[in-house]
Amino acid sequence: MPTLAMPAPDPDILARDSEIIERLLAALPHDVVISDPQETRAYECDALTAYRCAPLAVVLPRTTAEVSTAMAICNEMGVPVIPRGAGTSLAGGALPTADSVVIGTMRLRDILEVDTANRFIRVQTGVTNLSVSAELEASGFFYAPDPSSQLACTIAGNIAMNSGGAHCLRYGVTTNNLMGIRMVMADGGIVDLGGPFLGGGGLDILGLLCGSEGQLAIVTEATLRILPKPEGARPMLIGFDSAESAGECVARIIRSGLLPVAIEYMDDVCLRAVDAFANAGYPKCAAVLIVEVEGSEEEILHQIGRIHQIAAELNPVEFRTSRNADESLAIWKGRKSAFGAMGRLGDYLCLDGTVPVSKLPYTLKRIGELSREYGLEVANVFHAGDGNMHPLILFNANEPGELERAEAFGADILRLCVDVGGCLTGEHGVGIEKRDLMTKQYTADDLAIQMEVKSVFDAHWQLNPTKVFPLEVSKPYRERAVSSS
Ligand SMILES: Cc1cc2nc3c(=O)[nH]c(=O)nc-3n(C[C@H](O)[C@H](O)[C@H](O)COP(=O)(O)OP(=O)(O)OC[C@H]3O[C@@H](n4cnc5c(N)ncnc54)[C@H](O)[C@@H]3O)c2cc1C
């Protein structure tokens, strides 16, 4: 039995299910509304698959106007709404409740404008992250945030979770590359924020929306900053015989003032899995770093020289620099397939905590100790340059009690991240997964401010109401919202 509680569905809403579906069908094209339980089951979970619950109905609009219509009906009928992109959230952000309507934006797939002169692309938010890059491929520009799930995840989900990726060390995460959005408010109103210009006066509401996990509005269009592709890029692979030395190498590279595009970390458990899966040719050692630098040939050689010097002080077992495009692909191949490779080992929980880079060696050591205490193996593969850790806890879902033990282990790792001065999430968001740990990171006053802000956007607490805020803490807000509706 997974341990995270979800509140019981509202019997009043369940009793009105046919009426709600009829209202949606009357206002929207019939193929936009899904209510057959065989079909709604496809939306019963996201990538946190231990938690499942089919919604009352699913709405898959093709336009912002249709999103607005669906949202207005749910608002009027007092029905919770779960915004959904591709459903790749690892935090349970898109998990429905039985009394909710899922509004999915994955059919909003148009590229609306590409403007290289002013360095932006405007898209509907159902486009996948990878198709934005594909659209720009021939233009000499690229969109920087590159989650490992980029083949499937949508720009909507990236905005809602403020997603990152391997190349975000240098270019920042989604919030640093988002210029504007069109969004549907809880009452169905349509609002534009920002646009193809820098900044803008007044409060940074765009910044507030990015990372708001479907709590404030449904985002249907986005203007994204695009960047000219660098002259060249080259990865290095550095192997170490201890996790601490690899962690220390990351800390020293960052302290030196160098800013590689990516510093990725894989430990021995991950290396074994990746080698068997992708035949990546990685060295057999305790940990490997992939460090990528970019710029002109002169800049690349200078950075490689300095990184070589830093690594040499820590006695690496291997230092390999790519000599051509094939070798670069080979170095990245294993890292890119790491999650798939880990999946072949069995069930895993993928965590996402962030620590100050200087605390990586201690945190890795402590995770190893916790792994022995809990009797569960853990693999570490993560964006080390910005301290964004992804411990993967391996367990057997068919073994009674193992999922619960893995969840308890995961919660201890996230508490550890906060204790060393980091935070609960770097890029996957809070969802339900970290919801009950929010009191570890925030005081009651901090959480109250965040919930008051939600109430301003979503007075009736209809948007994703059981996520992000611990249920006990948000209860008065949810009850107040119901009594005022
Ligand atoms: C194998 C794997 C690798 C991953 N690697 C990374 C990684 O490297 N970096 C990273 O950051 N994440 C990663 N993720 C997590 C996930 O892919 C990201 O969180 C992604 O941004 C989710 O996008 P989605 O379209 O699937 O959104 P969903 O999972 O559908 O939804 C995610 C959240 O966004 C909200 N939402 C969805 N659509 C809207 C909308 N239109 N308006 C408002 N809110 C909305 C949902 O309510 C939910 O809270 C990975 C996941 C997997 C399975």
Percent of the chain with pLDDT over 90: 85
Average pLDDT, the chain: 94
Residue with tokens 């336009």: 63
At 455, is the secondary structure helix, strand, or coil?
Answer: helix
> Which stretches of 396-444 are assigned E, i.e. beta strand?
none
Query: Could you give the count of Cα atoms lying within 13 Å of 81 in the half-sphere of its Cβ?
Result: 36
156 lines ligand 1 (CB under 6 A): yes
If you measure from the C-alpha of residue 427 to the centroid of ligand 1, how many angstroms do you get, rounded to a whole number?
Answer: 9
**Does 151 have pLDDT greater than 90?**
yes
If you measure from the C-alpha of residue 71 to the centroid of ligand 1, how many angstroms do you get, rounded to a whole number?
Answer: 21
At 292, is the secondary structure helix, strand, or coil?
Answer: strand
pLDDT tens digits, 286-338: 999 999 999 999 999 999 999 999 999 999 999 999 999 999 998 998 888 88
pLDDT for the residue numbered 334 = 87
Instruction: Please report, for residues 124, 388, 457, the alpha-carbon distance to residue 427 in angstroms, rounded to integers and kept in the order given.
Output: 22, 8, 23
Q: Which two tokens stand for residue 112?
A: 């609306």
Nearest residue to 237 (alpha-carbon basis) of 159, 304, 181:
304
All domains in the chain, ordered by first residue: 11-104 (3.30.43.10), 111-228 (3.30.465.10), 231-345 (3.30.70.2190), 442-484 (no CATH)
**Does 135 have pLDDT greater than 90?**
yes
Return the DSSP state at 30: G
Return the DSSP state at 64: H
Distance CA 178, CA 124 (A): 13
**Does 98 have pLDDT greater than 90?**
yes
pLDDT for the residue numbered 1 = 59
463 lines ligand 1 (CB under 6 A): no
pLDDT for the residue numbered 4 = 83
If you measure from the C-alpha of residue 369 to the centroid of ligand 1, how many angstroms do you get, rounded to a whole number?
Answer: 31
pLDDT for the residue numbered 91 = 96
pLDDT tens digits, 6-33: 889 999 999 999 999 999 999 999 999 9
pLDDT tens digits, 385-416: 989 999 999 999 999 999 999 999 999 999 99
Best mutation site among 45, 74, 89, 168 for ligand 1 pocket (most ligand atoms within 8 Å of CB): 89
Best mutation site among 49, 62, 84 for ligand 1 pocket (most ligand atoms within 8 Å of CB): 84
167 lines ligand 1 (CB under 6 A): no
If you measure from the C-alpha of residue 317 to the centroid of ligand 1, how many angstroms do you get, rounded to a whole number?
Answer: 37
pLDDT tens digits, 251-274: 999 999 999 999 999 999 999 888
Percent of the chain with pLDDT over 70: 99
pLDDT tens digits, 40-84: 999 999 999 999 999 999 999 999 999 999 999 999 999 999 999
pLDDT tens digits, 188-232: 999 999 999 887 788 999 999 999 999 999 999 999 999 999 999
